[in-house]
Amino acid sequence: MKEIITINSIADIHNIYGLESPKHPLISIIRASKNLDNVDFENYKFALNLYHISLKDNCAFTISNYGRNSYDYQEGSMIFVAPNQVLEFERQNINTNDTGWSIVFHPDLIRKSELGKRIDQFSFFEYASNEALHLSEEERQTITEISEKIEKEFSRNIDAHSQTLIISNLELLLNYCVRFYDRQFYTRTNLNQDIASQFQKLLKAYYNENKQAEFGIPSVKYCGEAMHMSPKYLSDLLKKETGQSTQDHIHKYIIEKAKNRLLNSKESASEIAYSLGFEYPQYFSKIFKKKTTMSPNEYRQRLI
């Protein structure tokens, strides 16, 4: 079993990489170098309590995050890791020079800023590594130029404006990544082969196999794993394709089944709720009313 090394600070990660002391206590950019080849990445797991944004370009290692494969982490691609994740590295046989880089920053850097308040909105920090952002040459240049501005800012003498400018450029970089992910979702629509349709088939199979009797209503986590995606990536992909999240699709499917049962059986609303996988009938009634503006019994009486 691999030993787990915990990284709590920028100084910790510099020490592991054998780098000189960081120029800023809360943020650093680690550029690829031959020195990193001497670090024993493969025999350890790294519990990273920092934000990590990485651009891969001919890197000798790939990052396997959330226990998933790294096959989709290609040249000119980016991954985003939030704090409290465990990273593993796999060595690759690449002979070209590595020009990739990683931005690492402590949560305290942004804690009192507007970015700190909205950092959770950047859902790609919860994507798996095989859901990397793939950049065009122009996009990569844009992102790299911003990273250079960030590095230049924290490398000079820190003054009253440094924190604001560092965070502003960091937020700019993340906003560009939102745009580029939107482009990626759009251009991969055909490749995704109608995710919404696949998702409906998954829900239908779940109920046909009576899984709700054992596991309850299908969870977002279950659906993501069944479709080989992280829950956040699946939800964002469905939103781009249909305007509705994973949870919205689950609830819509269940409500449609409930409507059929209400109109074609004498079962009580509670019996229908339990048969659909709800642990509490009250929760079923709450969702039903939210989606239809009527309680289950009101719906049944109105349409009889």
Give the lowest-confidence range in 38-47, 49-58, 100-109, 166-175.
Answer: 38-47
Structural domain for 211, as ranges: 195-217+248-303
Task: Name which residue leads in pLDDT, 287 or 59.
Answer: 287
Residue 218 has pLDDT above 90, yes or no: yes
What are the φ and ψ backbone dihedral angles of 198, each rounded to 5 degrees?
A: -60, -40
Tell me what pLDDT residue 185 has.
Answer: 83
Residue 285 has pLDDT above 70, yes or no: yes
pLDDT band at 303 (very low <50, low <70, confident <90, very high): low
pLDDT band at 132 (very low <50, low <70, confident <90, very high): confident
Do 100 and 164 lie in a common domain?
Answer: yes
What does the DSSP 8-state code read for residue 286? H
Do 179 and 201 lie in a common domain?
Answer: no
Residue 15 lies in a domain: yes
Residue 118 has pLDDT above 70, yes or no: yes
Do 152 and 19 lie in a common domain?
Answer: yes
Do 16 and 151 lie in a common domain?
Answer: yes
Digit-coded pLDDT (tens) for 153-176? 999 888 889 999 999 999 999 999
**Is 235 in a helix, a strand, or coil?**
helix
Give the C-alpha separation, 210 to 207, whole Å.
5
Do 125 and 104 lie in a common domain?
Answer: yes
Residue 54 has pLDDT above 70, yes or no: yes
Q: Is 6 exposed, middle or buried (0-12, 13-18, 19+ CB in 10 A)?
A: exposed
Q: Where residue 41 sits, what CATH number does that domain have? A: 2.60.120.280
Do 268 and 129 lie in a common domain?
Answer: no
Residue 36 has pLDDT above 80, yes or no: no
Residue 145 lies in a domain: yes
Query: Which of 208, 206, 244 lies closest to 223 in space, CA to CA?
Result: 206
Do 276 and 132 lie in a common domain?
Answer: no
What is this structure's pTM?
Answer: 0.71
Task: Name which residue leads in pLDDT, 114 or 94.
Answer: 114
Instruction: Give the percent of the chain with pLDDT over 70.
Output: 83
Do 63 and 136 lie in a common domain?
Answer: yes
Taking residues 10-15, report their average pLDDT: 92
Do 160 and 35 lie in a common domain?
Answer: yes
Q: Is 4 exposed, middle or buried (0-12, 13-18, 19+ CB in 10 A)?
A: exposed
**H/E segment holding residue 263:** helix 246-264
Spell out the residues 6+ positions from residue 151 whose beta carbon is closer than 8 angstroms to its own.
29
Taking residues 127-131, report their average pLDDT: 79
Q: Angle formed by the axes of helices 162-187 and 137-155, to 10°?
A: 170
Residue 225 lies in a domain: no
Do 78 and 177 lie in a common domain?
Answer: yes
Do 270 and 177 lie in a common domain?
Answer: no
